């Protein structure tokens, strides 16, 4: 069975390492905050000016003044700090964020990422995605493997406007965990969801797949 959103977020938490500064994108990536391993210390950063994000609040803990970049209510920690978005983007552009876990609409075999717009749709703007993929040390995408029509979101070449070129290092989808070999344009399987085999995933992926 394909993984649920929560299971994908839990697998993405496996990308975290002790001492990392991490930015979580809008959507499924925000759920990673609930799965930070207890034996490591990770600092979560939000580009709207918050360093040190805790798990999502329970209903009686909601503070409408505490939000992340996706306008979701969050919690803080005793070590949390607040600052301007200018300082936040200085952290990102200065290479001080170790890992970004982002959503996507398309990822190409060469690591290109499209995650900010669909032509013809009304949007407010790109937000911090372009800065993140250009400034962080590692980019992991968490997304559904296929779109609503059943087409692969992992493609040979992106057809949507790009957020960044050659930036994606790994993909966690509802089908499994994969490393992206950008030079060869291939997915390398690290783990598959229960009861799914590589042939099933290969038939639903727009680039070649191989075992580790």
Sequence-distant (≥ 6) Cβ neighbours of residue 137 within 8 angstroms? 95, 97, 98, 99
Residue 98 phi, psi dihedral angles, 5° rounding:
-75, -35
Task: Name the nearest CA neighbour of 16 among 101, 74, 113, 81.
Answer: 101
Q: What is the pTM of this model?
A: 0.93
Encoding tokens for residue 66?
A: 């505490």
**CATH code of the domain in which 46 resides:** 3.40.1080.10
Tally of domains in the chain:
1
Locate all alpha helices (DSSP H) within the chain, ordered by sequence. Answer: 5-12, 85-93, 129-135, 198-202
The strand pair at 50-53 and 76-82 is best described as antiparallel
> How many CB atoms neighbour CB 150 within 10 A?
8
Note down the domain range covering 153: 5-211
Catalytically annotated residues: 47
> Can you give the pLDDT of all 212 residues of the chain as single tens digits?
999 999 999 999 999 999 999 999 988 998 998 999 999 999 999 988 999 998 889 898 999 989 888 788 999 999 999 999 999 999 999 999 999 999 999 999 999 999 988 766 666 666 788 999 999 999 999 999 999 999 999 999 999 999 999 999 999 999 999 999 999 999 999 999 999 999 999 999 999 999 98
Q: ∠89-142-138 over CA atoms, to 5°?
A: 45
């Amino acid at each position: 069975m394909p993984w649920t959103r929560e299971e994908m977020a839990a697998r993405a938490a496996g990308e975290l390492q002790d001492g990392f500064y991490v930015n979580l994108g809008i959507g499924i990536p925000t759920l990673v905050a609930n799965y930070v391993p207890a034996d490591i210390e990770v600092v979560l950063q939000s580009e709207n000016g918050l360093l040190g994000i805790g798990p999502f609040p329970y209903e009686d803990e909601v503070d409408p003044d505490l939000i992340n970049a996706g306008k979701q209510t969050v919690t803080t920690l005793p070590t949390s700090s607040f600052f301007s978005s200018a300082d936040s983007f200085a952290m990102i552009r200065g290479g001080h964020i170790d890992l970004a876990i982002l959503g996507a609409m398309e990822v190409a075999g060469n690591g290109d990422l499209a995650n900010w717009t669909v032509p013809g749709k009304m949007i407010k703007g790109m937000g911090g995605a372009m800065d993140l993929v250009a400034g962080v040390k590692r980019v992991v995408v968490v997304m559904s493997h296929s779109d609503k029509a059943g087409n692969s979101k992992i493609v040979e070449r992106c057809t949507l406007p790009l957020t960044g070129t050659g930036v994606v290092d790994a993909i966690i989808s509802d089908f499994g965990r994969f490393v992206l070999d950008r030079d060869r344009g291939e997915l390398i399987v690290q783990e598959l969801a229960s009861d799914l085999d590589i042939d099933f995933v290969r038939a639903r992926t727009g680039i070649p797949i191989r075992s580790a």
